[in-house]
Chain A
Amino acid sequence: MTKFTFHRALPELHLQQGPTAEGSPVIADVVDRVVALAKLSATELAALMGSEEGHDLASLEVTELTGVAPERYLRSWDSIGRASPSALNDQQYDAFLRGENPLAETVIEIDTSEIYGEHLK
């Protein structure tokens, strides 16, 4: 599980559903932050992001990255799928909100099925 820590909050945040003893206060902080962000129009928020105030609004420190070489997050060129321009369905969008990349994964699945289809002919 990926753990996130806000710069202004000491405990670790576990991005998971349901309350946990250690995570609840920070989840509340996440909710507060998201609600505060939602009160701003997209253009207001974009303007704020040009300042230190905007940086504080968006800051997330990921504990998982501590001591880990960033190259760990790179993938082989061949495994990168081209994103589909089509709209995501609800299930795919849930995956996007969890941090995944369902746009590209969808294309990989399609490519794979086509390859298998060719192979079976």
Chain B
Amino acid sequence: MSVADALYWDATIQRDIILDGIKAKRLGQPFPRADFYWTWTGIRMLFPLAQLLQKRRCRGLTIFVRDDAGRGVPAGMMLLIEKYPWPVPPAAIAQSTFTWFIAAAPSASLISRGVADPPSLGRIMLDTALVSSKALGLDGQMWLHAAPSGGEKPIHFYRTVCHMPSLPRGAALPGGQLSDGRHFYAPVPLARRLIHALQLTR
């Protein structure tokens, strides 16, 4: 992910996300997505610098789809922390990849920008995080937090579609916090299965 990708996202797709959120609010509904308040330019520039002070590295990735003018349009944005403590002891490898921020463009937003048939990106983005963990020598160990503001949809995706277990509510997290029960993780055997499942499309 370059800053240019983040600039494009904030100026276009993020505005659509905000408009959708405002419409939902007017109807008295909750914001439909966890990323309503996000700004990818700031996340891309500032958060890796902050992690540098913790001696950790981030990985920013953009997933592109092709528009009808032959250009690559950012359709998915990810910021991973490459090596973060694994919250599920005991484990042979004490580190893991932490999927910190992840966002997929709304289909309507991509269609309005000339992408005829936007693909479903959730599984592809999860695969990207798992493969990154594998390449970093962490054997695919990866975990993430499904923000409460995202509602139940991501919970269903991680738990039912990807079969990821969750930490129990109150479990200790690295940094001293307690889990709200919405932290999902991929231990090595599950990571291998998930990676293998998409091997032919990779």
Contacts and interface: CB of A to CB of B under 8 A. Distances in A.
Q: How large is the interface on A (under 10, 10 to 19, 20 to 34, 35 or more residues)?
A: 35 or more
B7 A73 contact: yes
Contact of B145 (A40, A46, A60, A86): A46
A57 to B, nearest CB: 8
A37 interface: yes
Contacts of B67: 74
A7 B3 CA distance: 18
Given A34-B49, A85-B132, A62 B43 contact: no
B54 A38 contact: yes
B120 interface: no
B1 interface: yes
A18 interface: no
Contact of A73 (B5, B36, B84): B5
Interface in A50-105: 50-52, 54-55, 57-60, 62, 64-65, 70-71, 73-80, 83, 85-88, 93, 96-97, 99-101, 103
A105 to B, nearest CB: 9
A11 to B, nearest CB: 17
B46 A33 contact: yes
B71 A77 contact: yes
Contacts of A20: none
Contacts of B11: 65, 70, 73
Interface in A15-54: 15, 30, 33-35, 37-38, 40-47, 49-52, 54
- Chain B contact surface mostly: mixed
A70 B61 contact: no
Interface residues of B, number: 63
Interface string B141-156: 0000101111000000
Interface string B75-101: 000000110100000000000001011
Interface stretch (B157-165, B170-178, B186-194): B170-178
B53 A35 contact: yes
Contacts of B174: 41, 43
A68 to B, nearest CB: 9
A38 B2 contact: no
Contacts of B57: 87-88, 93
Contacts of A33: 46
Contacts of B132: 85
Contacts of A113: none
Given A47-B145, A101-B5, 9 more contacts: A4-B45, A34-B53, A58-B39, A77-B64, A93-B57, A96-B60, A97-B52, A99-B45, A100-B3
Interface of A: 2, 4, 15, 30, 33-35, 37-38, 40-47, 49-52, 54-55, 57-60, 62, 64-65, 70-71, 73-80, 83, 85-88, 93, 96-97, 99-101, 103
